[in-house]
Amino acid sequence: MARFVLVHGAFTGAWIWGPLAERLRSAGHAVEVFDLPGLGDDATLPEDVTLDSCAARLGEVLTASAEPAILVGNSMGGVIATQAAARHPDSVAALVYATAFVPRDGQCLLDLTRLPEGAEDQVQANIVIEPPVATMPAAASRSALYGSCSEIDAAWAISRQRPQPLGPFAMPVSISSGALDGINRYFVLCTKDRAIPAALQRRMIAENSIANVIELDTDHTPHLSMTAELADALQKFAGHAAGRLTLV
């Protein structure tokens, strides 16, 4: 069985992973979720939140166990997971981007949102910037983030959203040469994502060393909208990373 560490995206918290974590645990896996600084139930002041502080928090989680983790990032969590994996490669068995941003050395999240393939991004089209935070209006969140979710799940998620500290958006990742070379990286491409359009997902896949891609016909939050299918994809990636499964 695998050890999974799940990294949430902007506006949310560890709670967003609840249904997926339950499903993976019921299959016998160890699953760890946590709040990034300034999100979920974490009380860090927004002005104190940076990419470095987020990556450091994740680093603490990764290194708390001797077992390397299947590290899964969604949305902004992909940037944080990439930075932490580059700092702690021995603690990462595989890196999975679940419709997440995949930065290269020197890139920040905002760089990726400004690529032409991201023109249909409904987060950037609706986000309200009030430094040091940004917020997503409820109606825009439904369309951009939870379009394939049930009304109940979408309402639950929107009710728990918090303002997002701006710091992690603009800080570029720093990846030493070869730091990620020993880590298999995988991608869950969500074809109905209106936050990271499929075209942008495909560009990031093409520009990075991605070992395998599984497509889901769903939105930006597959852990709520297609929980079983995402769990199956993650378990396949874990099996491939461990050499137990061949992916086509």
65: domain CATH number is: 3.40.50.1820
Domain contains 248: no
Domain contains 207: yes
C-alpha distances (whole Å) from 165 to each of 23, 46, 110, 210 are: 30, 5, 14, 29
- Count of domains forming the chain: 1
CA dihedral defined by 157, 158, 159, 165, rounded to 10 degrees? 100
Which amino acid belongs to residue 100? A
Note down the domain range covering 85: 3-241
Domain contains 246: no
Domain contains 247: no
Q: What is the pLDDT along the chain (248 residues), one digit of tens a residue?
A: 999 999 999 999 999 999 999 999 999 999 999 999 999 999 999 999 999 999 999 999 999 999 999 999 999 999 999 999 999 999 999 999 999 999 999 999 999 999 999 999 999 999 999 999 999 999 999 999 999 999 999 999 999 999 999 999 999 999 999 999 999 999 999 999 999 999 999 999 999 999 999 999 999 999 999 999 999 999 999 999 988 777 76
pTM over 0.85: yes
Domain contains 231: yes
Rounded CA-CA distance 103/109 in Å is 7
- Do residues 36 and 61 make contact, with C-beta atoms less than 8 angstroms apart? no
